[in-house]
Amino acid sequence: MARRVIIVGPAHPLRGGGMATFNERMAYAFQEEGCEVEIVTFRLQYPAFLFPGKSQFTTEPAPEGLSIKVLINSINPISWWRTGQYIKKQKPDLVVFRYWLPFMGPALGTIARLIRRNKYSRILAITDNVVPHEKRPGDELLTRYFLGSCHGFVTLSRSVQQDLERFEPKKPNVYLPHPLYDNFGEAETKEAACAALGLDSTYNYLLFFGFIRAYKGLDLLLQAMADPQVQELSNLKLIVAGEFYEDVAPYQQLIEQLQLQDRLILRTDFIPNAEVRHYFCAADLVVQPYKHATQSGVTQVAYHFDKPMVVTRVGGLSELVPHGEVGYVVEPQPQAIAAAIHHFYTSVEAAILSGNISKYKKRFSWSRFVNSVWQLADSIKLKNV
């Protein structure tokens, strides 16, 4: 009989960016391994005053072939109880929670505690972050509440694994690298991608992709664009593709101060999944200038499209981007970022890096990921459930 899996976290109709995409792709991966899978997601993920973007919901069609149940209201305890009771009665073999923010601790921790009452389901959490990027009072208490409800954990970076072990040193955990985002379609030519985006394909393009928040370091990349090393690359432009999740004014002021208007392509609305491949295929080099990080799904989209990367030496980014093999690992400083960009365009390494990526990315398969999740789940004996 097929084993049953319930994934609890963002999914359609939420447009939760990488996390919703990850959960949906993971559900397909479990199905490919012969499991029955359902995703339980949010009716309300964030109250309006806490949500920094323009809309929490997507207008894209629901993913085909997935069962998605919309149940959770993050601020309504009645919905927590109903969700926990629903999943408890289903008696899935495995429940996989996504945990990324202390704000979600009360809702997800309560749901998990209710599920545990069936004394059957193994409860694992993929902990994207244990210590949040933007700290607030009460974070540790809320995180401990959630972590205490789980039987084991998956981390996507070793830095998060270290944070986790400070909270839960005795519970089993496993580090599994973020699998490829291979669900954005096949690669296309640069000319086709530029045509789709209305760009001139005779230019070289850098890409900064994803929600724009302070910790992601777009300001560092803008300063790098004004560095003399990059300024001498006259045929180069930077594409900024992603919605602002904070005040845009400081970035606009920096752009004007550095006189970068003619060197930038700003596409700062939410990027739907159907358009993602255009941005990556139009670019020569993907830059992740983060000031601090755990891991980034942008890396795995770049891998899928065989795009070399510049990443900063923070969190788990360098774990997935071996320096000099598939890209560059540099300090989170404008001059260091500029030097890597300059080297990429003035050396003969570009083709070599892309060739290495096509080999290196084979280790990031979804099959390997879900099988490792099952190994962890199966190591949790019934007496511990």
Residue 63 lies in a domain: yes
Residues 18 and 72 in one domain: yes
Residue 111 lies in a domain: yes
Between residues 14 and 310, the one the model is more confident about: 310
pLDDT in tens, 303-322: 999 999 999 998 778 888 88
Residues 171 and 269 in one domain: no
- Rounded Cα distance between 163 and 156, Å, is 12
pLDDT in tens, 83-116: 999 999 999 999 999 999 999 999 999 999 999 9
User: In total, how many domains does the chain have?
Assistant: 2
Residues 114 and 213 in one domain: no
Residues 305 and 328 in one domain: yes
Residues 13 and 113 in one domain: yes
Output the domain CATH number for residue 339: 3.40.50.2000
Residue 275 lies in a domain: yes
* Statement: residue 225 has pLDDT above 60: yes
DSSP-derived 3-state class of residue 364:
coil
Residue 185 lies in a domain: no
Two tokens at 215? 């910790």
Candidate from 146-155, 162-171, 179-188, 221-230 with smallest mean pLDDT: 179-188
Enumerate residues 6+ apart whose C-beta is below 8 A from 227. Answer: 334, 335, 338
Candidate from 73-82, 176-185, 241-250, 314-323 with smallest mean pLDDT: 314-323
pLDDT in tens, 238-272: 999 999 988 999 999 999 999 999 999 999 988 88
Residues 143 and 224 in one domain: no
Two tokens at 63? 């993913």
- Rounded Cα distance between 289 and 240, Å, is 12
* Element holding 238 (H helix, E strand): strand 236-241
Residue 236 lies in a domain: yes
- Rounded Cα distance between 2 and 258, Å, is 59
Question: What integer is the mean pLDDT of 136-153?
Answer: 94
* Statement: residue 54 has pLDDT above 90: no
Residues 110 and 122 in one domain: yes
Burial class of residue 2 in the structure, from the number of CB atoms within 10 Å of its CB (0-12 exposed, 13-18 middle, 19+ buried): exposed
Question: What integer is the mean pLDDT of 295-309?
Answer: 89
pLDDT for the residue 363: 83
Candidate from 100-109, 129-138, 295-304 with smallest mean pLDDT: 129-138
Residue 184 lies in a domain: no
Residue 209 in contact with residue 279, Cβ under 8 Å? yes
Range of the domain at 8: 4-179+365-384
* Element holding 42 (H helix, E strand): strand 36-44
Residues 158 and 235 in one domain: no
CA 137 to chain centre: 25
pLDDT for the residue 181: 86
Candidate from 74-78, 138-142, 267-271, 372-376 with smallest mean pLDDT: 267-271
pTM comes to: 0.80
pLDDT for the residue 385: 47
Residues 270 and 281 in one domain: yes
Residues 378 and 344 in one domain: no
